[in-house]
Amino acid sequence: MLSVEEATRRVAATIQPLPAEFLALPLAAGRILREDLHADRDFPPFNRVAMDGIAVRFETLAAGLTELPIERTQFAGQAPTPQLDPQAATEIMTGAMLPEGTDTVIRYEDLAFRTDETTGQRFATVQVLPPHAGHNVHRRAADRRQGDLLLPAGTYLGAAELAVAATIGATTVAVTRLPRVAVVSTGDELVSIADRPLPHQIRRSNALMLQAAAEQTGAITQAFHFNDDVAVLQQSLPALLTEFDAVILSGGVSKGKADFLPEVLRELGVKQIFHEVQQRPGKPFWFGQSAGGAVVFALPGNPVSTFVNFYRYARPWLLGVLQPTAAALPEAGPVPAVLSTDVSFRPKLTHFLLVRLEHASNGQLLAYPERAGGSGDLASLLASNAFLELPPEQELFAAGTVLPAWRFR
């Protein structure tokens, strides 16, 4: 039986970046960039006015002239007109191009205005002198120069990244294609969620759970259900192995007389990478890869086993094939958490303990174990937001022990 560490390594060894596709920029939110994007011009592309006020020559103020006639008004988006009189001022708005003949901007708050009643000429009196030439001017290329790398391949395209791509005119971008995932529930006891189950039946909740978890990770999913029938499995699974990047199955992988999946998958040419992991819950976990590259996560059918195995193995795999930059997406790995109370676990297995994570006043992340009725207790997931990973080398875990916690919300 494989250790959790070795199972993790073998799953990670199958991670390959998905191919790129081109998308219109507005459709690329949340995707991973697959090309380098460079500045097509300087940032900012001109000497940009940073405050509403007046544009002047600093030398004029330094010479002692503090009352200046307003030569004209210029708004953002207007082509600039040179200021002809070095002893005058141009009333100017934020975002406008600094007019030739000026080098400094004084904000409205530092000015007083008057109008000559005879001529109608407006004057601005500078009440607070600027400290230096170039005050309140965002200089051309102060941020980036034309040709600078702005967004390297591998960047997660969030709101700021999309805005930068837009400002350089990237109307379409190459991004990683989303992983296509087939979610398969198996079992004769399962009925549609719309059906009223008989006493010996249950609704198909695992498939919906896996679909939601995979889609929250960034995958495109499609759900299927197959009964415990070897012929049906042999006929139905080959198409999924061809059309999808990953197939995630729930049920049919243990040692019962109706657990046909491991044998059928091997018959279909899926290479078994491992079967059974030294862990609880989720020990019967089967993992393999088809000749065409599709990976198969065949998870035990008990809902908590299915859930924990997805977040421990399948979710990191999905994030890996998306190829994000470090810390760009929600954590694929665990975070350290402090156990709030003593816990004992005797079997020589890695134990995934459902917990509620909360931040203490000192900033520590505390893990409070939640009551669970075993791997079939689906409702136990409601009070939890993570599971602790307890190593198999010890039986008693004292309060205060720091352990890895895998978040699922």
Cα-based torsion angle of the residue sequence 163, 165, 168, 173 in order, rounded to the nearest 10 degrees: -150
pLDDT of residue 331: 60
**According to the model, what pLDDT value does residue 202 have?**
67
Which pLDDT value is given to residue 169? Answer: 97
Q: Which residue has the tokens 């390959």?
A: 16
Q: Are strands 271-275 and 279-280 parallel, antiparallel or unpaired?
A: unpaired
* pLDDT for the residue 333: 84
Percent of the residues in the chain that have a pLDDT greater than 70, as a whole number: 95
Which tens digit of pLDDT belongs to each residue from 260-282? 898 999 999 999 999 999 999 99
| Model confidence pLDDT, tens digit, residues 144-202 | 999 999 999 989 899 999 999 999 999 999 999 999 999 998 876 766 777 787 888 76
Q: What is the pTM of this model?
A: 0.83
Q: What is the pLDDT of residue 328?
A: 47
Round to whole Å and give the CA distance between 186 and 226: 5
**pLDDT tens by residue, 80-106:** 899 999 999 999 999 999 999 999 999
pLDDT in tens, 1-52: 899 999 999 999 999 989 999 999 999 998 999 999 999 999 999 999 999 9
Q: What is the pLDDT of residue 188?
A: 67
For the cut 60, the answer to whether the pLDDT of residue 381 exceeds it is yes
Q: Report, as an integer, the average pLDDT of 64-80.
A: 95
Over residues 196-229, the pLDDT tens digits come to 878 887 667 788 899 999 999 999 999 998 888 8
Query: Please, where are the H alpha helices in 218-357?
Result: 230-243, 261-267, 303-309, 315-322
The number of beta carbons lying within 10 Å of the beta carbon of residue 64 is 6
Count CB neighbours of 1 within 10 A.
13
pLDDT score at 376: 75
Contact criterion met (CB below 8 Å) for 276 and 347: no
* CA 268/CA 152 separation, integer angstroms: 40
Q: Name which of 317, 307, 258, 324 is nearest 287 in CA terms.
A: 317
The DSSP 8-state label assigned to residue 295 in this structure reads E
pLDDT-derived band of residue 258, with 50, 70 and 90 as boundaries?
Answer: low
